[in-house]
Structure 1
Amino acid sequence: MSQAETKPRTIGQQQTNMSLDNTSHAGRTGLDELVPSRYAVRVGEIEVLVISDGVLTPPAESMATNADPAVRAAWLDDRFLSRVAFDWALNAVVVRSGGQTILIDSGLGEEYPDFPRAGQFVHRLEAAGVDLASVTDVVLTHMHFDHVGGLLVDGVKDRLRPDLRVHVSAAEAKFWEAPDFSRTAMPPALAELARRASRQFLDEYRSHLRTFEEECEVAPGLVVTRTGGHTPGHSVVRVASGGDRLMFAGDALFPVSFDHPEWHNGFEHDPEEATRVRLRLMRELAETGSLLVSTHMPFPSVGHVAAAGDLFRWVPSWWDY
């Protein structure tokens, strides 16, 4: 992304590189000094930059609402995770392809009392050298508040291009006109936050929406496809160039999905369909060898999916420094 990036090295069939701009230095303060917040991957001729918006801490039971509490507790214990609230990474992506700069999701947007460690997206974009005025397109995997919130921060819309295109499935836009939370297990406060954020987003960006039914090529080598499940219009983004592939899976896949794909996430609007979607996507990833990036996999969420008997396992890529 920056001219100061290191020379790419090959990991498997993919090349990765990492920006050295704006890294921590003695005497410099700020959140970016504590942890890395971006990671660059080259997919053929396409640049992909994973940006961390921080970490959410939802209630642990929301990870697996249909699981036996003792089994869920054992899974958390085995991974040294809290049984009360677990750390959930919040990742978004910037893609540069064919002269376009595409933002895929936008994080939480600002700090909420319940999520004080997230809401970093706007200043982390700036730290990565991504100018909001350079963004030509936005792709939304879905319209939950932790995916549209970055575009709702005060002053952000004024810094975006007047001809910005926002790509979202028609089913997703329609659903949020009158959302139904009857099949989710979202805490009431978060359900209300989701309603409010989606309503505000539709009000502010309606004229920029470019809806699609099932699939849309947004830029050369970048295709967004509706999967449904997590929300009625949930979509994934596939990036392909020069024989290399990467999928941004949004909220279709979570850390627990590899051990227990049948566990329902409390934020899923159609839990049974969400289970079918994640199994289908994991089979695809295992068969194709495509890289995977997902919203709530631990940052930088770059890795592969491998078959493991009847299940799958997550194989994170080695970081390239």
Structure 2
Amino acid sequence: MSFVNTTARSVSRPDDLVPSRYALRVGDIEVLVISDGVFSLPAETLATNAAPSDLAAWLRDRFQSPDAYKWPLNVVVVRSGGRTVLIDSGVGAEFPDSPGVGRLASRLDAAGIDPSSVTDVVITHLHVDHVGGLLADGLGGRLRPGVPIHVAAAELEFWASPDFSRNTFGGFPDVLRSAEERFVEKYRSQLRPFEAEHEVAPGVVVRRTGGHTPGHSVVRLASGGERLTCLGDSVFPDHFDHPEWHNAFDHDPEEAVRVRVRLMQELAATGEPVVACHLPFPSLGRVAVAGDAFRFVPSDWDY
């Protein structure tokens, strides 16, 4: 059963404003982008090195509050060659006072996807909004026993003794550390570390980029001459206009800038579509060069 057919026939709950899922194909690979919700954080977490007036102007131009920015949280499910790959898992129940997030489990159900059908999990990096879903029974408790979880070896090595000295981490370093420790403890026997890259399913390759975290990874999809890159947290909405801005959750801000600029230059050259964890849902679009910076060109929805 394809994602397109599943999505077309499933029924959303009456309190859902929209189905919060978007299906597409990359050649023979089926892709489903699912929203885990929207998380409100202090606006300064977007750019710790920006002049306050510049950040305020950027937010004002987008009709966003100068005090709090609404972070979209997106998760991707991929089907290829008989395998179903979950890319990241949202925040789960880690922020009980933020009811707008942690919705992945219910939205997988609404899309007709049984977590027990997942054959592989890819974690782009070990931040709480990427591993939290696997700590909650609604999702983690329903996965098949022993499902392999692919994560860069450099990420696991970093978190064994993390260095939090280079940035503010939005005031959440203890939350980040706690989620990572519980995740590794729970899934240690299922972790499948890779060095540079690993093909998880036909045409589904996870590749370590570093930057946002030492083992941060992107996922490249390729099939039938078509391509798509899942960017994880290498790019946030403000980085197209200001790739030099440091996100509060970049563990090595300078390296994060180098990685995102290199990635966006590559993607602008190829013209291939992208999705990302924190771009507005469904986050599907392309990267274009705009002078010394970039432009995000959202793809038209097919419906």
| TM surpasses 0.5 | yes
Matched, 1:20 2:8: yes
2:290 aligns with one of 295, 298, 308: 308
* CA-CA distance at 1:290 after TM superposition: 1.1
* 4+ long deviations beyond 4 Å: 1-4
Tell me the distance in 1 between the aligned counterparts of 2:213 and 2:193. Answer: 15
Q: Normalised by the size of structure 1, how large is the TM-score?
A: 0.91
The 1:100/1:307 distance shift into structure 2, 3 A limit, reads: same
Q: 5 Å matches for 1:28-67?
A: 29-30=14-15, 32=16, 34-67=17-50
Aligned to 2:113: 130
Q: How many residues align?
A: 303
**SS of 2:9 mapped into structure 1:** coil
Deviation at 1:83, TM superposition (A): 0.8
Question: Which residue is 2:188 aligned to?
Answer: 206
Match of 1:246 among 221, 228, 233: 228
Cα shift readout 1:162-201 (whole Å, capped 9, x = no counterpart): 231100000101111222211121244x211111110000
1:153 to 123, 136, 139: 136
**Structure 1 residues 155 and 320, CA, compared in 2 at 3 Å: closer, same or farther?**
closer
Give the structure-2-normalised TM-score.
0.96
Inter-CA distance 117–194: structure 2 relative to 1 (3 Å threshold): same
**Cα 1:252–1:46 shift into 2, 3 Å:** same
Aligned to 2:264: 282
Give the percent of matched residue pairs that are identical in Structure 1 and Structure 2.
63
Q: In 2, distance between residues paired with 1:21 and 1:86?
A: 34
State whether residues 231 and 268 of structure 1, in contact with CA within 8 Å, keep that contact through their aligned partners in structure 2.
yes
Query: 2:2, 2:30 within 8 Å by CA — same for their partners in 1?
Result: no
State whether residues 32 and 78 of structure 2, in contact with CA within 8 Å, keep that contact through their aligned partners in structure 1. yes
Q: Partners of 2:241 and 2:285 in 1: how far apart?
A: 16
Deviations 1:231-285 (A, max 9, x none): 0100000000001100000000111011000000000000000001111111111
Taking the aligned partners of 2:219 and 2:47, their CA distance within structure 1 comes to 25
CA deviation digits over 1:107-130, x for unaligned, max 9?
Answer: 011262453211101111111111
RMSD: 1.5
Indicate the residue corresponding to 1:194 in structure 2. Answer: 176
Pairing 1:234–2:216 present: yes
Q: 1:185: which partner in 2?
A: 168
